[in-house]
Structure 1
Amino acid sequence: MASSEGLTLHCLILALFIAFSKVHASDPPLTLDYYKSNCPTVLDIIRKEMECAVLSNPRNAALILRLHFHDCFVQGCDGSVLLDDTITLQGEKKAPNNVNALKGFRIIDKIKNVLESECPGIVSCADILTVAARDAVLLVGGPYWDVPLGRKDSKTAGYALTETNLPTADEGLLSIIPKFIHQGLSVADMVALSGAHTIGKARCVNFRKRIYGDFVATAGLNPLSQHYLSNLKSVCPPIKGSDNNESAMDYFSPNLFDNSYYQILLRGEGLINSDQELYSSVFAVETRKLVAKYAENLFAFFEQFSESMVKLGNITNPETYVNGEVRRNCRFVNT
């Protein structure tokens, strides 16, 4: 017999899905061969530049993947996250949820510069970021997926939406799920996309409450977990001033895209609260099963992650198909 918590969460998910399904009911006008005739080398160029970036620093893969996620959750995948502030436009970069979380902009700038030399005015920044995220994952051992193309760049940004749309490190499961449902993404998508943290790092300010709070309750008192917790506390002391110190969210293989992130959650050692909630929350009836599945089966994780990344990349900003453009510089709207 299903628990009352499970039924409550199931009803919430169903209600949210019905409420937002109309927003994402139709497929975006994207195609795999969008640049076949006017910029046939686009994928090769992006891949080459990403290879250089990841070779120079494997962490660049995580930076680009996070940049793509933050772009798509605000106004859809429209390159709005790449816009700098100007006198007439407030970008998203300095929003509280982005200002210390996002890097990698120069990598996208470099790719854009090469493409402008090869195919001027053809390839959108939104498409560049989406393909670069796929290549980033692939270059650190993750799966491949085909990326539909044809996005336009937004002429606006969504500063205020970063506060309402983006999940945060300290959120609980019941707060995070609606944010994914709002984007047309399922609970399975949410759990799979969270697996991107297998190559990510978190700042002390985002895991201080966790390690001085319920970490022991979820991880137990075994010596290995206690040693890990001790290391985390040395990186992130309780007093402020160390907010920008960082720790890998997957301490086992931080530069390899694999399923060890889920195995860490099974041990109750998730670095940030929103991750551990996927397994330890009283409401984690469905998500707990998925975490266990992906922890055991790398292929199942890769398969769902690939499918979910396509769905993420297909979140649209309808406005761009009417008033969008292909920016010459990803940081500024064309004049």
Structure 2
Amino acid sequence: MKRIRITPAWYFSDETGNQLDPKLFGLLEAVHRHGKLTRAAEDIGVSYRHAWNLLNKWGEFFGIALVDLERGKGAQLSPLGEKLLWAEQRVIARLGPQLESLGSELNLAIQQTLEGVKPVLRLYATHGYAVELLPTYLDELRVDLQYCSSREALSALHRGACDLAGFHLPRGKVGERVIGDYRDLLKPRSYRVIRFITRRQGLMVAPGNPLGIEGLSDLAKGQVRFINRQVGSGTRALLDGLLEEEGLATRRIRGYELEEYTHSAVAAYVAAGMAEVGFGVEAAARRFGLDFLPLALEDYLLVGHRRSLTEPKLKSLCEVLAGEAFQAAVDALPGYSPDRCGEVEKIEVLFNGP
């Protein structure tokens, strides 16, 4: 089945109309990953000569080399090359969820026009690496996946705008406080919980942890620059709860007021050297080559109406979640595990524990 995928593209141009080749970004990323121009060229499917010419052309465009090549030492990005690469990664990470939601809407509209109206699973959920996998494994089921905050997802379920709401709930004392914020949107008589995954959250730091960050208390050190998640996100609520437990005032954290909107965007911010530490999931840290200090476990859950669980589309979802293929894909994500994935529970479990 053909799908629309929306990705951002960059265009630099000078006064003569020369435009930057988007393939350059793939080459820069491959050089950063492999440290060899030969491997990088092979990785993006071009010849060594073409890669060399691409770097020379755009080095002249900017007036400074993008990659430093030294015989016997391979290749590494110049300071400008790093700036370009991480800027592109931040843009993709920041816009990714919105573009995926828009792509989901377009795909759904096209498929229904071509094939007639078929049952659709409407899922509103916080963005995450495991949720990203679902459309691939639910290819026999039409999925309208819209990314939003936990409260927005539950509010959408409350007003009948979706079939399922996805949100994450920390374990422990912080989780007990967080679930209280959602109590007004959770109906024990009407709703049921579908178990999904468990994931680790913690601090993302540069490779080798050069500042020796060991925990949240180190965020209050003057030389440490922090990048935060946005107000209203579940990750921000988790961080604030952990800071409260340790008695740490947010005003002491340099950069606490600076916000990014996805785990990947936080990781890209740290990888670019714009901050020394961020807070998010382990999978984002590993994807950007960062070290990770685990601080909390949280359950990612799906909530829907009890009566809807007998519908074929919800049954299909639970079968996929309980299947080996999907659970193996989740297991492959660093810090993720398919904890009782696909099992159905009463809402009361969230308030009282298992």
TM-score (norm 1): 0.31
Larger Cα Rg: Structure 1 or Structure 2? 2
In proportion to residue count, which structure has more strand? 2
In proportion to residue count, which structure has more helix? 1
TM-score (norm 2): 0.30
Question: Higher relative contact order at CA 8 Å, sep ≥6: structure 1 or structure 2?
Answer: 1
